[in-house]
Amino acid sequence: MKKLFLILLLGVSQLSLAQNHKIVTLLNKQLQKEMTHFYDDEERKNFIVTEAFRIDENNILHFGYTIKSYDGGKINVYSKIPLNKIINIGRDHNIYFETLDNDVTETQTHYEKNGNILKKKSEQTHLFSTEINKESYPHRFMKQMDKALKKAGYDIECSY
């Protein structure tokens, strides 16, 4: 009986890892598609992915990027969200994941043009921005993301 339970547990964990890989692949592929096909040279120069989407061993989704500012400085943004806290996939300017509480940690570090840190702030919020925003009809991507999250066992809604 123990062996059957362990085999079942191992099978479920492998499915979860496979779905986590699918979630990360969908996010990174869509962001890369947008950067390649929809960003102009100036946008590519001013938006740099510093940490591609990844899911750690605790099922926390991570993402980091840098935005160059108009004054020659830059802002580094790093966000993380527990996958089991996502209740909705939505879209305003960006496609985002929403939580019921302030379960998203976002850290911003602002730099002067000479590299000195102006300020660093970390806050808890309920929205995780994917920075995916260039697709004219993002519904197909949102449906794929909805399906992947549900297959991974997360109970979410999708506002598309």
Counting every residue, how long is the chain?
A: 160
Q: Give the CA count within 13 Å in the CB-facing half-sphere of 69.
A: 15
* Token reading at 55: 């899911």
Confidence band for 138, pLDDT divided at 50, 70 and 90: confident
Give the predicted TM-score (pTM) of the model.
0.86
Mean pLDDT of the chain: 88
Delimit the domains of the chain by residue range. Answer: 2-158
At 74-89, the pLDDT tens digits run 999 999 999 999 999 9
At 53-107, the pLDDT tens digits run 999 999 999 999 999 988 899 999 999 999 999 999 999 889 999 999 999 999 9
pLDDT at 4 over 80: no
